[in-house]
Amino acid sequence: MKILAIHGSPRTIRSTTRRLAGFVLEGAADAGAETEMIDLADYRIVPCTACEACTLNGTCVNDDDLPSLVARMKEADAIVFGSPVYIDNITGQMKVFFDRLADAIHYQQLAGKYGCAVATTEESGGDDVVAYLSHVLNYLGIISVGGISVATGGKPEPVDAAEPAARALGKKLADAVRDGYADPVQEAVLTDNRAYFRSMVEENRDLRPEEYERWMRMGWIR
């Protein structure tokens, strides 16, 4: 069982969000998972230009670190998204990364995995960012087992106080990988998403035959 955390703060190891995500991974590790933390700021990820090349042939025109990150996401059983609140939203690093996941979203390449989300903020917006991160997980075909946000007031103590809850979230994520986790509301969202993307998969069946056949095997196209 492998659980991967993707952390979007430019502060990397000095980030309180990273500390919170680390507690989640520690809880997952205690439950038997192999864990890994990725700091997006350590990687070169070029903004999407909306050229649609990835949709047509599965290959981005940009030569950067994104393909290796997607490969690691595919290898993982579960994914944790973490971002601090920057002007009521995720960081620029996280947004650029998400925009480049269009191919994984359109073809539902991460479907069947589980995830969760964490955020920190000085005062407000944490719950909204957790909700957005969870929304992106669903777009990727991933079921979220929950999330946690912490308002720090500019101090480290609130994150430390959240350690038990964050570790419990990590255990819940590992348990979901091991035993399964059902959420009818999210499953309905995922079904609606696949219905929306189905026309793209069908339209590009000659360009992306392997993806089309995978959708057929999954029963998403009949």
Coil, strand, or helix at residue 7? Answer: strand
Give yes or no for a contact between 104 and 68, defined as CB atoms under 8 angstroms apart. Answer: no
What's this model's pTM, rounded to 2 decimal places? 0.96
Mean predicted confidence (pLDDT) in 197-220: 96
Residue 170: strand pairing partners: none
Q: How far, rounded to the nearest angstrom, does the alpha carbon of residue 29 sit from its chain's CA centroid?
A: 18
Distance CA(140)–CA(131), nearest Å, equals 14
Question: Over the stretch 12-52, which tens digit does the pLDDT of each residue have?
Answer: 999 999 999 999 999 999 999 999 999 999 999 999 999 98
The pLDDT score that the predictor gives to residue 55 is 86
Give yes or no for a contact between 78 and 44, defined as CB atoms under 8 angstroms apart. Answer: no
Give yes or no for a contact between 26 and 167, defined as CB atoms under 8 angstroms apart. Answer: yes
Question: Over the stretch 51-108, which tens digit does the pLDDT of each residue have?
Answer: 989 988 888 999 999 999 999 999 999 999 999 999 999 999 999 999 999 999 999 9
Q: How confident is the model at residue 120 (pLDDT cuts 50, 70, 90)?
A: very high
**Pairing relation of β-strands 78-84 and 114-121?**
parallel
What share of the chain has pLDDT > 90, as a percent?
Answer: 95
